[in-house]
Structure 1
Amino acid sequence: MPERSSDGTDGRRVTYLDYNATSPVDPRVAEEVMRFMVLEFGNSGSRTHVFGQAAKERVQLARTEVAAVLAADPSEVIFTSGATESNNLAILGLAEHGTKVGKTHIISTQIEHKAVLEPLEVLAARGFDVELIAPTAGGWVDPESIRAALRPDTLLVSTMAVNNETGVIQPLDDIADALLDIDALFHVDAAQSFGKVVEPLRNPRIDLIAVSGHKIGAPKGVGALLTRRRGYKRPPLKPLMFGGGQERGLRPGTLPVALIAGLGLASTLALKESDERHARALAVRGNIMDALAPLNPQYNGDIDRTIDTTLNFSVPGIDSEAAIVALKDVAAISNGSACTSQSYEPSHVLTAGGLDEARVAGALRLSWGYEQGYVPIDAVVARLRELVR
């Protein structure tokens, strides 16, 4: 990937290493988006002319492209503005059903993204019993802890697929196995894993999957919610908004055809190029870990369970805020979730994992893309070495 100017004006070049926050739009995807913005600009709900028909056909193709990644039926894909909306719809959309059938117990984890934790807080305020499972020291949730928490009135089990801070892959297949004979719905926040870790999301026991486009080279502002049938029954969701009846009545409003086209193509490219992307990402990861070795980094999260595009680590004696400032003209990195970084607080993910205060305060996250080229990791290490107290 080309290096990018730090502020677009001073000519300094920095390398972008914050893909877990967002990724650049793939040029092939950008071309597709522009085509449906400028040339094929019809409303997919317009049924009386060819412009509307072309838009409708592209939306349906995108539905098929997203479904292919998840081994699902295209009719099970609901387009949204992103994973945050999808998570809200999956969680809050079940409230009416849960209350009606007397199932008001929800199981989730302490390491979820705020897009899951905050909707759960809303349900807790409405009287739902929300139980958050602590992670292991390695940053993953033990499926047996979830099994032990299950009750006859459990409505929903909600876990992420890959943690956005540590990159640790959660054991979805084992959690799904624990739910095989259970009625509870299984929801997965796949913002960091869709198009990257493919097979676990194809498990037919997962009922609801939240998808984000801008993590895989699609534009910001588009995502999807998979509503997988169990037998012939769809998850009993109710809409959060009203007016129009689009997306099977779950998400009203004119569909953003251009953005949906971008998500569709990005999904196809992720699936088609999966092996090549993994190989490139692993090569970058190996180079980074080799260069960091002299600093004796403490990797936060089980390194053997971590996705190949993320490393979260602490170096004794280094504060993360100081490191980010020192590296600002070399590399764009992070110390946590982009959704909470504007007012920095200690990571709830690392704190839940039992890490001490100094290690949490020193945690840095590097995340990269499949097209990543040169990474000035030696320069990064040199700057970090200067900060060691």
Structure 2
Amino acid sequence: MEVLVSNVVAYLDAAATTRVEPQVAEVVLHWMTEEFGNSGSRTHEYGTRAKRAVARAREALAHSLSARPDELIFTSGATESNNIAILGLAPHGEKQGRRHIISSAVEHKAVLEPLEHLSSRGFEIDLISPGTSGRVSVEAVQERLRPDTLLVSLMHVNNETGVIQPVTELAKKLRETSTYLHVDAAQGYGKLTEDLHAPIDLVSFTGHKIGGPKGIGGLLVRRRGRDSVPLTPLMYGGGQERKLRPGTLPVPLVMGLAKAAEVFEKERKQWWSDAENFRRQLLRSLGRTRFRVNGDQENSIPHILNLAFDDVDAEALILQLKDYAAVATGSACTSASYTPSHVLAAMDLPEHVASNSLRLSWFPGQVQELDIESFTDVIVDYQVGVSS
């Protein structure tokens, strides 16, 4: 099969995915071509070695979240984990007469759409609009808590603005109640892992945002004392992963996820410093343009910027920039047709801002190709051309 190689441009869409780290790729290939056993096969050494390797990976990943190995199940990624957490808790809510769920209007579609489905089943979904900061306050959640509140689902780091939500503080507050907390940690996992050590009941995460392979992630189902979150499986057939996620485990991907987490943790401090440095350089250069930054910059991850450039059509600007950098208007998981960002709209930003903002996101070590000054020149020239 012919492989098409495009012209090399800088990659500024790391919030969508990252390049697999070479060490990770080596591990995945090893478990695909040499140690290729099924971890469920118990009658020979190939299966035994695969089972032992998965156990080691599970232990390491659970430890990184300050959890027990039996509290972690492997999934295909954060979207599946979100669905298992939200839809899997619904039968318990129905039995208990607790059909109230609190979330935010700036969640990823992988949370909002399962919630929309539950709404059609009679659940009351209470979505908090965070205002222009993009950050939901703990007080706003607490004000909405009721005796029949089953779940609060709040993302860790917003995938479009990079705003960090107060999940650690919220977890401590909710632990005193019967309401469960689910956190979609797709963007924060690895970068702000300490936040996830808090007593969060359900944590969804994925590997491909930190140099791991696509198609693998996890759901942490943390116990409350001796009690586990009462989840009902969405699929049946085999009983793997505590009967919550049946099917043959993709051992190569599991091992790749564990290796990515290990590599990223070793490099995390340097990664953070490099991400902040690149951000400063980029903003300094973009000072020659007319723009606004969307979201609370005091509570933001260093590798995501959401910018609205004055007098600019975002889609047209992306075309102007295509020879310099790969950029996006928002989430890669929404409709293929361009629509205004639901995140920015929920932040009560003007329509022209919600419709014409760019998300720039980077992974240090994967943006060397970018000539920042030339990148800025394109935007300056475009703004001058539009206004003249």
Give the TM-score normalised by the residue count of structure 2.
0.96
Of 209, 215, 239 in structure 2, the residue corresponding to residue 215 of structure 1 is 209
Q: Output the CA distance in 1 between the equivalents of 2:57 and 2:336.
A: 34
Q: Are 1:34 and 2:34 an aligned pair?
A: no
Q: Output the CA distance in 1 between the equivalents of 2:335 and 2:8.
A: 23
Q: Output the CA distance in 2 between the equivalents of 1:157 and 1:191.
A: 17
The amino acid of 2:84's aligned partner reads L
Output one character per residue of 1:28-71: Cα deviation in whole Å (capped at 9) or x when no partner.
Answer: 00000000000000000011111001101111111122212211
Aligned residues: 381
Output one character per residue of 1:170-222: Cα deviation in whole Å (capped at 9) or x when no partner.
Answer: 11122223313211000000011100112111102x00000111111111111
Q: Are 1:84 and 2:79 an aligned pair?
A: yes
Q: Which residue of the partner structure matches residue 336 of structure 1?
A: 330
Of 48, 72, 91 in structure 2, the residue corresponding to residue 96 of structure 1 is 91
Q: Which residue of the partner structure matches residue 107 of structure 1?
A: 102
Q: Which residue of the partner structure matches residue 260 of structure 1?
A: 254
Runs of 5+ in structure 2 lacking a partner?
Answer: none
Of 334, 356, 373 in structure 1, the residue corresponding to residue 350 of structure 2 is 356
Q: Are 1:156 and 2:155 an aligned pair?
A: no
The amino acid of 1:141's aligned partner reads V
Runs of 5+ in structure 1 lacking a partner?
Answer: 1-6
Of 40, 49, 52 in structure 1, the residue corresponding to residue 44 of structure 2 is 49
Of 217, 223, 244 in structure 1, the residue corresponding to residue 238 of structure 2 is 244
Identical counterparts, % of pairs:
51
Q: Output the CA distance in 2 between the equivalents of 1:380 and 1:124.
A: 45
Q: Which residue of the partner structure matches residue 3 of structure 1?
A: none
The amino acid of 2:146's aligned partner reads R
Matches within 5 A, 1:179-328: 179-204=174-199, 206-328=200-322
Q: Which residue of the partner structure matches residue 161 of structure 2?
A: 166
Indicate the SS of the match to 2:345.
helix
Of 116, 124, 128 in structure 1, the residue corresponding to residue 119 of structure 2 is 124
Alpha-carbon shift at residue 297 of structure 1 (Å): 2.0
Indicate the SS of the match to 1:94.
helix
Alpha-carbon shift at residue 8 of structure 1 (Å): 4.3
Q: Output the CA distance in 2 between the equivalents of 1:344 and 1:49.
A: 52
8 Å CA contact 1:65, 1:265 repeated in 2: no
* Coordinate RMSD, CA, aligned: 1.2
Larger deviation, residues 62-71 vs 131-140: 62-71
Q: Output the CA distance in 2 between the equivalents of 1:346 and 1:362.
A: 8
